[in-house]
Amino acid sequence: MSASRASSATPRLTAGWATVAAKELADHLLSVRFFVLLLVLGAAAIIPLYFAAERLRSLASEVSGAQAVFLALFTIGPEGVGFLRVDRFVAIAAPLLGIGFAFDAVNGERSEGTLPRLLSQPIHRDDVINGKFAAGLAVICIVLVAVVLAIAGFGLARLGIVPAGSEIVRLIAWLGITIVYVALWLAFGTLLSVVIRRAATSALAGLGVWLFVAIPFFGPLLLSALLGIFLRPVTGEETLGALGLQETILRLLPSTLYQEASLVLLNPSVTSVSTPTTIDQLIQARQQIPSLLSLDQSLLLVWPHLVSLVALTAACFGLAYVRFMRQEVRA
């Protein structure tokens, strides 16, 4: 009797979060939010590619048959405008997907009064937050895959660049780490929706953190101002120490981890992600013979970045999970 009960309980547990995920996925795909964020991310990827089309066409004709030409679609921007690159624009715009699909995941249900009715159904409480997170991650995967396929189609049809097998594998690896990066923001948005009662407040908090972490010039500017206020360096050594601390903190940010990993995966010629800090290291970096890394060597370089992003994602979702399980929900 106990064995039959245990076997019958497993499908119900699985169906609980799957039912919530299916309902949330259908709502996301039919919402205006989905199309707006798809246009934002698509524009963030297509616009720099459009302006860099002439440069990419000349590059493809000059180095026909060379390695990693197809990956240049994602790493080369217009001449003289370095930030107009697909990988950098995706690093800035992709977090909006995570925040956009999660900032009202729980507090939206609470404000509409549907959360008590949802929890009164024959499902476990954790099925609600697990299903919402799974649905948001599924939508993010759909959007990112669609954008990457659009860029690849543009390169094939407009520029005539055909990818090699190794380039496709590298592109899949970059897509995977991009999904992990956006999943971190999805988990962070879920945490905000659990902790903050109002959806508008959680959205503003998420956008504020996004400006500090993902926008290239906001984070260093604010961090430099804060270090100047609290440390107040006077001597040259103190100034150098403050600059070193600022660089260390910036390298620990998720956006920095993702950008370094993207650079290594999309550019096989990158052999190091660390910045030279001494004159000897700078001389050694300049004397290094240019070479192309294999995929397994590039993965060894980005492995710490991937582990850090996964750990941050698990920490954010774990905090949201524990807080949601302990919250009191009144009808």
Q: What is the pLDDT along the chain (331 residues), one digit of tens a residue?
A: 444 444 444 444 456 788 888 888 888 888 888 888 888 777 777 777 776 666 666 655 544 444 567 787 787 766 655 566 778 888 888 888 889 888 888 888 888 878 888 877 788 888 889 999 999 999 989 888 888 888 888 777 776 777 778 888 999 999 999 999 999 999 999 999 999 988 889 989 988 888 888 776 666 666 666 656 655 555 555 555 556 666 666 677 888 889 889 888 888 877 776 554 444 544 554 545 556 778 888 888 889 899 999 999 999 999 999 999 888 776 5
**Lookup result for tokens 């999970």:** 321
Tokens 């189609």 found at: 153
Instruction: Give pLDDT, residue 313.
Output: 94
The whole model's pTM is what? 0.81
**Domains in the chain: how many in total?**
1
Q: Output the pLDDT for position 277.
A: 44
Q: What values do phi and psi take at 321, rounded to 5?
A: -65, -50
Q: Which amino acid is at 258?
A: Y
Q: Are 193 and 180 in contact (CB under 8 A)?
A: no
Is 238 inside a domain boundary?
A: no
Residue 297 pLDDT = 86
User: Distance between CA atoms of 194 and 205, rounded to whole angstroms?
Assistant: 13
Rounded CA-CA distance 157/63 in Å is 18
Whole-angstrom distance, CA of residue 21 vs CA of residue 37? 20
Domain for residue 229, yes or no? no
- Of the candidates 255, 129, 127, the one whose C-alpha atom is nearest the C-alpha of residue 190 is 129
pLDDT at 244: 60
CB hemisphere CA count around 12 (13 angstroms): 9
Is residue 302 within 8 Å of 265, Cβ to Cβ? yes
69 in any annotated domain: yes
50-62 as b/e, with b when 16 or more CB fall inside 10 Å?
Answer: eebbeebeebbee
- Would you say residue 103 lies in a domain? yes
311 in a domain, yes or no? yes
Give the Å distances, CA to CA, from 203 to 67, 209, 233: 43, 10, 36
H or E, element range at 203: helix 199-213
Asked if 319 contacts 191 with a C-beta cutoff of 8 angstroms, the reply is: yes
What is the spatial distance between Cα 204 and Cα 119, in angstroms, rounded to a whole number?
27
pLDDT score for 36:
83
Question: Domain for residue 225, yes or no?
Answer: no
Domain that holds residue 130: 2-215+304-326
